[in-house]
């Protein structure tokens, strides 16, 4: 299966798409409803890369101001509404993180010798949609270092330099592992 955004059009996502279309038309009530429906998840998104609560809430404000101003650019054919919003939140949070280098200090990365399974627990996997399963499956096929680094990079928002420091490997190797892993992921997801 490919990663067609239409797969994410379950009722909850469709409701968010509809709210975004109403917001694009200037509907303030829809905007407040959008906030009530998505703010807690988007704050969770911000907090994952930006653990400082005040900073994360300030970024959350920017996210909603951006959503109001740019809702007309949202295209449900290209992206689900929640993915569109969460991407804005994640990138704003990473940008804020880059501006405050000491904001998040992450633990060292240790590469497992075995090919430990980083996939979700069975109960979570059972609820997982097809797309999630596919991404995790493709990640599973990567060599362990690549898998660990790509996972850490995404969930912590760390730069190449920070990842190299955290795992104690040369910067060039870390870049190489991640880039090769990304290309493999792309191939796997498109197969």
Total count of residues recorded for the chain = 191
Minimal distance in Å, beta carbon 151 to other proteins? 6
Count of residues that bind other proteins according to CB under 8 A: 102
Write out the binding residues for other proteins, residues 52-81 only, by CB under 8 A: 52-55, 57-58, 60-61, 64-65, 68, 78-80
CA dist., res. 44 & res. 60, Å (int): 10
Q: What is the dihedral of CA 181, 184, 186, 191, to 10 degrees?
A: -160
Minimal distance in Å, beta carbon 72 to other proteins? 15
* 49 sits near other proteins (criterion: CB under 8 A): yes
CA dist., res. 112 & res. 42, Å (int): 31
Write out the binding residues for other proteins, residues 139-178 only, by CB under 8 A: 140-143, 145, 150-151, 153-161, 163, 172-173, 175-178
**Toward other proteins, which CB reaches closer, 61 or 72?**
61
CA dist., res. 79 & res. 137, Å (int): 22
Work out which of 26, 41, 111, 168 binds other proteins, going by CB under 8 A. 41
CA dist., res. 64 & res. 34, Å (int): 9
Question: By the 8 A CB rule, do 108 and 124 touch?
Answer: no
* 20 sits near other proteins (criterion: CB under 8 A): no
Q: How is residue 123 written in tokens?
A: 């109960």
Write out the binding residues for other proteins, residues 112-141 only, by CB under 8 A: 115, 118-120, 124, 127-129, 131-132, 134-136, 140-141
Write out the binding residues for other proteins, residues 79-98 only, by CB under 8 A: 79-80, 82-83, 86-87, 90-91, 94-95, 98
Minimal distance in Å, beta carbon 24 to other proteins? 14
3-state percent helix, strand, coil for the chain, nearest multiple of 5: 70, 0, 30
- Of residues 136, 154, 23, the one with CA closest to residue 94: 154
Work out which of 23, 74, 76, 184 binds other proteins, going by CB under 8 A. 184
**Toward other proteins, which CB reaches closer, 13 or 20?**
13
């Amino acid at each position: 299966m490919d990663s067609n955004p239409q797969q994410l059009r379950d009722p909850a996502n469709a409701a968010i798409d509809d709210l975004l279309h109403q917001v694009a038309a200037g509907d303030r009530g829809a905007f407040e409803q959008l906030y009530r429906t998505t703010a807690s998840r988007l704050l969770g998104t911000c907090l994952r890369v930006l653990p400082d609560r005040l900073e994360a809430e300030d970024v959350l404000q920017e996210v909603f101001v951006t959503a109001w101003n740019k809702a007309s650019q949202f295209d449900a054919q290209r992206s689900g509404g929640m993915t569109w919003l969460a991407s804005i939140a994640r990138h704003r949070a990473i940008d804020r993180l880059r501006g405050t280098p000491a904001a998040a200090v992450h633990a060292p990365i240790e590469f497992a010798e075995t090919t430990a399974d980083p996939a979700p627990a069975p109960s979570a996997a059972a609820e997982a949609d097809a797309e999630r399963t596919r991404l995790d499956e493709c990640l599973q096929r990567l060599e362990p270092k690549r898998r660990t680094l790509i996972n850490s990079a995404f969930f912590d928002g760390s730069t190449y330099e920070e990842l190299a420091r955290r795992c104690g490997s040369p910067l060039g190797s870390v870049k190489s592992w991640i880039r090769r892993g990304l290309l493999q992921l792309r191939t796997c997801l498109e197969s």
